Amino acid sequence: MTIDLHTHTTASDGTLTPAELVYAARRDGVDVIAITDHDTVAGIASAREAAAGTGLRVLAGVELAARRQRYGLHLLAYGIDPTDGTLAARLHELATLREERVRNMLELLRGLGVAVRWEQVAALARGTVGRPHVAQALVEAGYARDTGDAFARYIGNGSPAYLPSARLTVAEAVALAGDAGGAVALAHPLLSLSRRALVALLPALRAAGLTGLEVYHSEHDAAAVRYLRELAAEQRMWWTGGSDFHGAAKPDVRLGGVAIPPEVLAQGPFQGAMAD
Ligand code: AMP
Ligand code: ZN
Ligand code: FE
Ligand code: FE
């Protein structure tokens, strides 16, 4: 059984529409996917529609940007009801803040003599707008060689036109997901944190209501996976995993490309989601 519980669509910064993602999952022999777009659940309904009757299971998820002190963290919520009104309203508020942040970053770029218009960036973002779209606009306007160059010179963390995104606290993210019936895992823990920082941070994250850990991820090597599996077991946390597929935005990442043990679906918020 092929399972991929971390995927992005054009509802955020992926390059496949939800229907295209479903098509690709079926073509590549994936049995269960979770859609985990950044701060939006807008892709889930049309993915489910496209998957209806095909045997592909589409689980609802969302990858929430959160913060804890100086750390920017990604949290994966699963088991949520994507039609929940409060969830939609809060996510919409966050989208408005994201847009403001990008507009302010474009102001900073203008101050550097780099003229990229909001309309150019917005046209690249079919869903949630973010730095990847700014990077793409910078490339298209000839200010950067490629998106990596755009991040390095202009908008990467600490670069001259970088602004942090407005973020939920971990407790707010947990409440948001919990009110919509779900639970929250820390996404790709060893991407944003060292082992040491993770262990130091975990008690506070647990106290804020975090119950799961993402163990399997395209950028976690075998040693990271082993470490995180043990940590999750020791902490009595549920675990999850996926490719973090973004389509052509991350060409090296294949849908279903990270092997996830099927037992994943028997724990945490997946039990209820699979029973629906
Ligand atoms: P945002 O949420 O708008 O701050 O954008 C974050 C996204 O930008 C991440 O999901 C990454 O895919 C991408 N990103 C961050 N840093 C870099 C980098 N140095 N090079 C390329 N992409 C990056
Ligand atoms: Zn992304
Ligand atoms: Fe992430
Ligand atoms: Fe992701």
What amino acid occupies position 21? L
Q: Which ligand is nearest to the CA of 189?
A: 3
Q: Whose CA is nearest to atom 3 of ligand 1?
A: 130
The residue contributing the CA closest to ligand 1 atom 15 is 156
- Chain centroid, CA 184 distance in Å: 12
Asked if pLDDT for residue 276 goes beyond 80, the answer is: no
| CB-ligand 1 contact for 132 (6 Å cutoff) | yes
What is the pLDDT, as a whole number, of residue 81? Answer: 97
**Residue 275 pLDDT class (50, 70, 90 cuts):** confident
**Tens-digit pLDDT profile for residues 57-81:** 999 999 999 988 878 899 999 999 9
Task: Identify the pLDDT of residue 13.
Answer: 85
Residue-wise pLDDT for 119-155, tens only, equals: 999 999 877 788 999 999 999 999 999 999 999 999 9
pLDDT tens by residue, 82-118: 999 999 999 999 889 889 999 999 999 999 999 999 9
| Unique residue bearing structure tokens 């859609």 | 35
Q: Residue 16 has what pLDDT?
A: 96
**Separation CA 72–CA 185 (nearest Å):** 14
Question: Are the beta carbons of 114 and 138 closer than 8 angstroms?
Answer: yes
What's the pLDDT score for residue 78? 98
Residues linked to residue 32 through DSSP beta bridges, in sequence order: 3, 57
Q: Which ligand is nearest to the CA of 243?
A: 4
How many angstroms separate the alpha carbon of residue 153 from the centre of ligand 1?
A: 13
Q: What is the rounded CA–CA span in Å between residue 151 and residue 157?
A: 8
Residues 6+ apart with CB under 8 A from 236: none
Q: How distant, in Å, are the alpha carbons of 81, 108, 166, 169, 182 from that of 93?
A: 18, 23, 10, 15, 20
Surrounding residues of ion ligand 2, Cβ less than 5 A: 8, 13
